[in-house]
Amino acid sequence: MNKVPECKECEYVKMYNYRKRIYYCDNEDRTDDMGKLSVGDIPRVCPEWCPLREKINE
């Protein structure tokens, strides 16, 4: 069974505060151009496009 990485444990998760806390992925290998993860709270499970998820599933 493969462990799905959690965004809260990831070194690439960044946050900026522009009226709301916006979390995004700063990994240069991400396939999503914006890298937006969530607004308000950090997500528990990483998105399908996460490059770390692909490394774990190999």
Q: Answer yes or no: is pLDDT of 41 > 70.
A: yes
Here the contacts of 41-44 (C-beta below 8 Å, separation 24 or greater) are 42/7, 42/8, 42/13, 42/15, 43/7, 44/6, 44/7, 44/8
Question: Model-level pTM?
Answer: 0.75
What confidence tens digit (pLDDT) does each residue in 8-20 have?
888 889 999 989 9
The yes-or-no verdict on residue 1 having pLDDT over 80 is no
pLDDT of 50 strictly over 80:
yes
Average pLDDT (28-49) is 87
pLDDT at 2: 59
